[in-house]
A and B are shown apart, each in its own frame.
Chain A
Amino acid sequence: MTVPILEARNLTKHFPVKRGLLGRGSDVVRAVDDVSFAIEPGRTLGVVGESGCGKTTTAKLVLHLEAPTSGAIRFEGRDLQTFDRGALREYRRSVQAVFQDPYASLNPRMRVGSIIAEPLVTNESLPAGAARKRVAHLLEVVGLPERSADLFPHEFSGGQRQRIAIARALALSPKLVVLDEPVSALDVSIRAQILNLLRDLQSRLGLSYLFIAHDLAAVAHMSHTIAVMYLGKIVEIGNAETVAATPRHPYTQALFSAALPSHPDEKRDEVVVTGEVPSPLAPPAGCRFHPRCPHAMARCSAEEPALLPEAGRLVACHLYTGVRVSVGAAAR
């Protein structure tokens, strides 16, 4: 097994929330709670989950935009928190990002050429001519005409802007690209284009992706490994095909059953989840999913399930630990 390009170990991020008139007695939002994963070179880790489950916070931690409350991120085996200026600079060169909203991620006052060249100019002392050449090449890679460099972002459509954002992310030939919902703001007709572009670039340039989305089809299509998050925790993580074909955690099952089948005649078990995601300020005791779980048992509200191997992936669910209770008896 190769050294993972990026590894998260027991990663935790709590945000303090001030309560009361004088700001005393603060609560914490447990945005990311004890999350571990690894990304291999040239592979994609897909992270799925509902809004507010900690996906984006995970991305910010990986991008070193937020410092973790505890736990560590290791980049090529070295802890990110111990990086000095030089190492951090190197990290910035190696890890780039594409964000969800293509309208917010490009500075409206800069020309596309300068936007794409910014990481280059910041990190390498390039003569203007060479930078221009690289920009033209990058534009070609993402399928935009060369003259785009002289235009402003508002002259492009959402899909084109996302291509610009991708070109910028690729400017430094990074090892890892964090894709935080790169297609959710785009029209369905353009999503496939962008996703295929990303896959194509991965095979050509050997990039690793941390792909964050709430669209299961996109994640299954893009990823080698899938991690399913619920309220700041990973509930199931494993090989993408295995998890997508036979989801084990009731939440994963519900997610995949809610997604549209690839064929209208396909028969599937309907798993319906009721209720809302509880507030991350006061997550339920025991398994965080138990108030909404169709298979909830007495044990689920008392004891938090650990992430354990089950059928070729890791699952955090009491259905698969210890004494097996028949599913019929467990269902209410």
Chain B
Amino acid sequence: MNGSRAAGLTLAWRFAAFRSEGFPLLPTLILLTLALVAIFANVITPYNPEIGSLGDRFHPPVWQAGGSAEHLLGTDHLGRDVLSRLIFGARVSMVVGFTAVIVAGLLGTGLGIVSGYLGGWVDQLIMRITDTWLALPALTFAIFLAAIVGPSEMNIVIILAAVYWTRYARVIRGEVLSLKERDFVRLAIVAGCSKRTIMRRHILPNVLNSAIVLATLMLGVVIVTEASLSFLGVGVPPPKPAWGLMLADGKKGLMAGYWWLTVLPGCCIVLMVLAANLLGDWLRVKLDPQLRQL
């Protein structure tokens, strides 16, 4: 009795300690849930998200009059189950989001390190390209690229990586500029290390924190852009269930009272982006070498 009470107290205390460090428990849970849902999408979905029956069009969610437990979140204009589509939409957002963020991160971090460390004309070249890239509005640029290469999930990843690598390159280059003046880099030169070794062994591990923080913050941006592209019809091609695509399909029904077709995918996008941003913010503070006095 006494023991279990003590255990309960420690657990509560632990939870409080968790909170006191500002660990964003809720965003992490949301992202984890979404990730799990995305991974096991084909196991947990009650219906095929791409095929509906026209007899079941515009069923409202279960709690609304006329709704049924068969379609918990209702059906769309083709009679497809909204819940199933949302679940598979999470998979699309997750896959596209993570892959694009990683590809952009690898490209941007690599070029940022090379640009910052080598300096000279290499730096000039990469940074002028970056300037040009950053001067273009991201979404317009993405639409332009999408119009050229055509819609497909793979192409979306390439487009997003091509649009967003500059954000990494800029930040990482700045970090490298200060890192390369640090004594341990000078001592590596004195020890006879080649430039490539210094970049790999001394620069890269020390910018990795920033790259991870950036990636987390970029996740939200990338997901919104993917949804926007899909909404505009140049993203994930139908009938694949992407949240942006569902918004686009549902918007005509909004005036007719079919609110669940737009509000539900909208909520999903907001939740995911918000969670990613909160987690990124926390990581930024947590991993900041200045704040941590590394």
Contacts and interface: CB of A to CB of B under 8 A. Distances in A.
A225 B189 CA distance: 28
Contacts of B189: 65
A66 to B, nearest CB: 11
A15 to B, nearest CB: 14
Interface in B181-217: 182-184, 186-193, 197, 201-202, 205-206
Contacts of A89: 192
A123 B192 contact: yes
A260 B197 CA distance: 46
Contacts of B190: 63, 65, 92, 95-97
B294 interface: yes
A104 B192 contact: no
B193 A99 contact: no
Given A109-B206, A122-B197, A154-B294, A104 B191 contact: no
Contact of B192 (A97, A99, A119, A154): A119
B294 to A, nearest CB: 5
B191 A122 contact: yes
Interface in A152-196: 154, 165, 168, 172
A105 B187 contact: yes
Interface in A83-114: 89, 92-93, 95-97, 99-101, 104-110
Which of A107, A110, A122, A154 has the most chain B CB atoms closer than 10 A to its own CB?
A: A107
Contacts of B205: 107, 109-110
Interface of B is mostly: helix
A118 interface: yes
A119 B201 CA distance: 13
B193 A107 contact: no
A107 B192 contact: no
Contact of A99 (B187, B206, B294): B187
A165 B188 CA distance: 12
A56 to B, nearest CB: 11
B159 to A, nearest CB: 34
Contacts of B186: 63, 65, 97, 99
Nearest to B185: A107
Nearest to A91: B192
Nearest to A107: B184
B206 A118 contact: no
Contacts of A165: 187
A108 B192 contact: no
B196 to A, nearest CB: 12
A106 B186 CA distance: 10
Contacts of B183: 99-101, 104-105
A65 B192 CA distance: 11
Interface string A65-92: 1000000000000000000000001001
Given A122-B197, A154-B294, A106 B191 contact: no
Interface in B131-179: none
B184 A119 contact: no
A108 B289 CA distance: 10
A285 to B, nearest CB: 33
Given A110-B201, A172-B191, 9 more contacts: A65-B190, A95-B190, A100-B183, A104-B184, A107-B184, A107-B202, A110-B205, A122-B193, A168-B187
Interface of B: 182-184, 186-193, 197, 201-202, 205-206, 294
List 7 A-B pairs, minimum CB-CB distance, nearest first: A92-B192, A105-B183, A109-B205, A119-B191, A104-B183, A99-B183, A107-B184
